[in-house]
Structure 1
Amino acid sequence: MDGYLPLSNIESDKLHFATKAKEIAKFIESVPNTIPYAVTINGSWGSGKSTMLNFIEGELNTGICKVVRFNPWMINTKEELILNLFEEIYDCIDQGHTKAKEKFKSYALKISSPLAKLATLAVSMSQGVPAPVVTPVANGIGDMVKETGEAIFNKPLSKRKKDLIAELETMFIENGQKIVIMIDEVDRLFPDEIINIFQLIKSTLDLPGLFFVVAMDEDAVCDALENQGIKNPSIYLQKIFQRKYGVNSQFQLRTLFDEYITKNLKESQGKHNRDLIYLLETFIETNHYNRLGTTDNQYMEMYHDFRTHLENPRAFVNFKDFLLEKWEKYHSEIPEYDDRKVALQVAFVILMNFYLYPNYNNPQFARFSYLYHDDKNPIPKFVLRANNIIIRINGSRTVGLEEFVSEIVHNLNKYPDYIRSLVDKI
């Protein structure tokens, strides 16, 4: 959470992902390795799906589970998607079980197309494999293409799969292991690429010992499937995945603020940080004793607006960086006002509006009828709510408040005309 990369160490968990990660890992280990299985980790963009995958992997018993991490987003072309994933699975098959490796290669070649792709797959599979396994497939590209072409027609797919299942069952019974394939960021693919990934999973779902864990934004994936002509995408997914888990990003805003902002602020003696702690207690913790003026439930309404915009962990990281970078200078430019707490609360609301809706942050705040130059688009509810609470915090409409707000907004936006007017006065 201090950066934009997913967490990998479960000890860094602040949002209680660890509990669910351990639950999922335990379930993965409990599924018999003689049957295939597929689950999804569902969540919106930035909710922490990749972090959840990292935590699950860290909790798996490496003596039982061989983990394949596959990110299709990193593959350049859709033609390479299936090839790369087959290669990863192939690499996890025990080197000592040469028959299982050969049967898997044979099956992979059969369901892949066209021939050029098959040759590429054979080449990639021949790299880094011990001599007994490499020899049959490493006799030159020309021989491989020939071998591949012949292999396609000398045995039907059903027979290849039956042979492969028998070999995999033997191998997994002997070693007591399973292969866990974790696929991330499926929702970032193009619709046809998403279809390719799901077709691949379907093609291996009756192979023993394979356990797929797919992280995705289900809404985005369903939209993509509909784009490809699948009328009931939810039913389509249910036919592939036996279970789904959700990454919850609700009701965690206070935890995010406390863990990643407030705790650090409390270690500082600076007045700007003490004032920020007061404001977070007011607007995030909604401390009843900090209410000012004629406000009532407006603080709680604004808090829920903040939740809508900032509760997603990735969105919160962006905001955290903005706030900590901006706050000290912004605080120093808050004008004098007859009530310092009113000044701080009004300034904070304006700063939040500036972050969430910069185009709607202007000197017309603190008027009973909010004015905006764009009369074609409706004013966002948050902007209207911000305008309302600013007036209520002050308790009444005064000329002093309008001037105070106008100066803050001008300082914050640094309008060229405003800066020009200041220069002219010097």
Structure 2
Amino acid sequence: MEYKNYLPLTDIENDKLNFKELSIEIAAFINAFPSDIPFSISLNGSWGSGKSTMLNFIEKNLDEKCKVIRFNPWLITSKEDLILSIFEEMNEQIASLTTSKSSKIKEKLKSYSRKFMPTFVKGLTYYESMKYNMDPSLTGAIAEETFKLTESLVKEKEFDKPLSVQKKELADELKKVLSDANKKIVIFIDELDRLFPDEIITVFQMVKAILDFPGVLFVVAMDDEVVKNALSKKGIQNPADYLEKIFQKNYNLSSKYQIRTLTKSYIYPRLDLDDECHVLLKKCLDAYIMGNYGLQIKDFTHDQELVIENCETKEDRAANWKLHQKTLDRGASLMRSYQELFREFSRSLNLDNPRRFNKFANYLLENWPKIYNRIFKEIKKKDLYIYCTFILLVTNYFFPESISVYFSDTNYNEPGEEPGFIVSVKAHLYSIFPEYISENNNILKTTNFIRVCCREIVSYPDQNKLFY
């Protein structure tokens, strides 16, 4: 099986989700932005929505005036190293300008970072001590000693001038250098939402330390909801206002309403339509993900083979069964159950998210042939059996604890409230499996296949062997 990886895309030509247009728009804004003004942009999206891919596409569209720094704080192990690392990256880009002033500004940048470090570490120490409810006087003393220790590790000459003076001098020099070279520094920060709350605070402190520098533009990719929760946990009362003070422009990557596009892009090209197994998988995808459920709904007709498969006694097999009237009247409810299950694929499973969908696609393409060949080696391929197998295989991926031989038993309920997706799955399966009634008014449910399918999917040893 061809296995799709989860790595961000780098080639715009491989774009499947219309990222190209937005990346061009953002890059055009950055290209046109004055090189003597600081600016910051947030690129907001949930985990797996494609933020790293979008950053790659933006970088591809930036012109030669932009000196790009790709900064991933998740790869840096200590808070102190975050500050030093970003200044080292800036020094590297300034050195590449090879102007007469670049060496001078490198020294100022190094001096500023060293000057900034003790104050930064002092603040972190104070904050960490307060977090553990230490005595305020003791907290202050510890922070002060930490400041002195850090200060002693830095050259004396770095403390000849106040931090504010050094920052202004550095800003003036940076403005001249970037203006003379007609360049700007664009800093991409990625993976912010992977950090612990303390580390997220550290990154924003770092951004604020550089934010006033002219010609420096930040693009920060993050899950803004995760970041807001982290800020809230750290005592910031209004995280939205806090972020608004940092970012002047926001772009949002929505991962809603693209499940059909993802299916066409990540599953359909990998199907071998000369293989019946894949043909039937596509039929299921058409029905439950593409939303073409109307094509699958047909009038119920008597199926004697289905009746026999679900009769447990000789007397039942000899009885005269006919379709129950409520099955014959099930057309509207069957349509509703298709519609509800289709909605649940997006609403409950979050399959509109590209990374989550890619993982799901790999699971489906790997496991569908195996379960298909096991089940239908001896069982006839009825449409409702094919659909049932697909639905239960999907259910097993997202809710493995729900799959058991009791899945179709209305008299057996697992403890706790069932997820909405499971409720919709059961309602749909009860709709597609017909009921029969005998002349003695006995009711025959035809859901034995559900038990067979669940047993094959989970392969419980005790349920795959006869002990009686």
**Category of TM-score, reference length = shorter chain:** 0.7 to 0.9
- Give the secondary structure class of the aligned counterpart of 2:447: helix
Residue 313 (structure 1) aligns with:
354
User: Which one of 450, 454, 460 corresponds to residue 405 of structure 1?
Assistant: 450
User: Which one of 37, 40, 46 corresponds to residue 39 of structure 2?
Assistant: 37
Distance 1:416 1:20 in 2: 52
Q: What's the TM-score, normalizing by structure 2?
A: 0.79
Contact 1:49-1:215 within 8 A present in 2 as well? yes
Residue 420 (structure 1) aligns with:
465
User: Which one of 280, 283, 290 corresponds to residue 285 of structure 2?
Assistant: 280
Contact 1:42-1:246 within 8 A present in 2 as well? yes
Distance 1:338 1:46 in 2: 40
Contact 1:334-1:343 within 8 A present in 2 as well? no
User: Which one of 203, 206, 216 corresponds to residue 212 of structure 2?
Assistant: 206
Letter in 2 for 1:386: V
Unaligned runs of 5+ in 2: 123-150, 301-329, 437-442
- Cα deviation, 1:97-136, whole Å, max 9, x if unaligned, reads 222222222222221127999xxxxxxxxxxxxxxxxxxx
- Relative to 1, partners in 2 of residues 1:104 and 1:283: Cα closer, same or farther, differing over 3 Å? same
Residue 236 (structure 1) aligns with:
242
- Relative to 1, partners in 2 of residues 1:337 and 1:392: Cα closer, same or farther, differing over 3 Å? farther
Give, in angstroms, the shift of residue 419 of structure 1.
2.5
Distance 2:196 2:280 in 1: 47
Distance 1:193 1:407 in 2: 50
Distance 1:366 1:16 in 2: 42
Letter in 2 for 1:286: G
Matches within 5 A, 1:233-312: 233-265=239-271, 267-287=272-292, 288-292=294-298, 294=330, 295-308=334-347, 309=349, 310-312=351-353
- Give the secondary structure class of the aligned counterpart of 1:387: helix
> Aligned Cα RMSD in Å?
2.3
Residue 421 (structure 2) aligns with:
382
- Give the secondary structure class of the aligned counterpart of 2:40: strand
- Give the paired residue count: 391
Letter in 1 for 2:85: N
1:79 aligned to 2:80? Answer: yes
Matches within 5 A, 1:139-158: 148-158=154-164
- Cα deviation, 1:164-193, whole Å, max 9, x if unaligned, reads 122112112111110000000111112121
Letter in 1 for 2:62: L
Unaligned runs of 5+ in 1: 118-144
Give, in angstroms, the shift of residue 147 of structure 1.
9.8
Contact 2:83-2:113 within 8 A present in 1 as well? no
Once the two structures are overlaid, the 10-residue window that deviates more, 90-99 or 43-52, is 90-99
Residue 139 (structure 2) aligns with:
none
Distance 1:115 1:162 in 2: 18
Residue 365 (structure 1) aligns with:
407
Letter in 2 for 1:365: F
Matches within 5 A, 1:13-52: 13-52=15-54
Distance 2:370 2:165 in 1: 72
Contact 1:39-1:241 within 8 A present in 2 as well? yes
Once the two structures are overlaid, the 10-residue window that deviates more, 151-160 or 85-94, is 151-160
Distance 1:13 1:114 in 2: 45
Residue 67 (structure 1) aligns with:
68
**Sequence identity, in percent?**
40
- Relative to 1, partners in 2 of residues 1:83 and 1:147: Cα closer, same or farther, differing over 3 Å? closer
Letter in 2 for 1:75: I
